[in-house]
Amino acid sequence: MSIQETIIPIEKEIDIILNEYNLANQRIEGFLSRQDIILQISIAILGGAIGFTLTKKVSDEFLLIIPIIPLFLFSHILYHYSRAIVAQGYREYLQEILNNKMVDGCLKYSNVAKKYLLLSNPFTKINSVSFPAMILSTIIYAIVMSNYNLFNLIGGLTLIGIFGAIGWQFVKFRRKLNEKVYKFCKEGE
């Protein structure tokens, strides 16, 4: 293959990079809509489970199943959240390439999103505690409704430990993930 066959016209190169940029945007937006749906489903399931336990006599041990539901869903959301953060780092890298190939600085959304939606938005912080609050409140509900049954007390504390371990591992993994992805992409040039 000659060198002339491997050269891609600048317009085609921009189209390829722009397509990747748009795919990264779609991944991020897909996560956001999926997160909202999962939160709504979780609230509906928990509301139904709590309503059922208030109207029917259930075993004390059954009450401990209720907090497991948001714990599983929270783990699922954390996985997809990390994918969205990776897509954000990749999008930031692609934005820089596009800005260098076109009019410098014409694309700014990645920087704006990172600054105003990811790092300093108070609603993002509120959103990030919705599932942990749901998990803790359902654990407390299970313990109180069982009249502080020893099994539920130990089970609740175990769930809090599991939840804490998952959360801590995620915080360690997530720390500067966006920047790590961006740096990884830059080093691969």
Reference 35, options 125, 117, 170, 127; nearest CA is: 127
Instruction: Identify the band that residue 2 occupies on the pLDDT scale cut at 50, 70 and 90.
Output: very low
What pLDDT, on the 0 to 100 scale, is given for residue 20? Answer: 93
CA 57 to chain centre: 36
What pLDDT, on the 0 to 100 scale, is given for residue 106? Answer: 78
Encode pLDDT of 33-68 as tens digits: 888 888 888 889 889 999 999 999 888 888 888 888
Residue 169 has pLDDT above 70, yes or no: yes
Would the pTM of this model clear 0.85, i.e. be above it? no
- The amino acid at 9: P
What pLDDT, on the 0 to 100 scale, is given for residue 1? Answer: 46
Residue 126 has pLDDT above 90, yes or no: no
Long-range Cβ contact pairs of 79-83 (< 8 A, separation 24 or more): 80/31, 80/34, 80/35, 81/31, 81/35, 81/174, 82/170, 82/173, 82/174, 82/177, 83/27, 83/31
**What mean pLDDT do residues 132-158 have?**
89
Residue 124 has pLDDT above 80, yes or no: no
Domain boundaries along the sequence of the chain: 8-187
Q: In the numeric block, which tokens belong to residue 154?
A: 């130990």
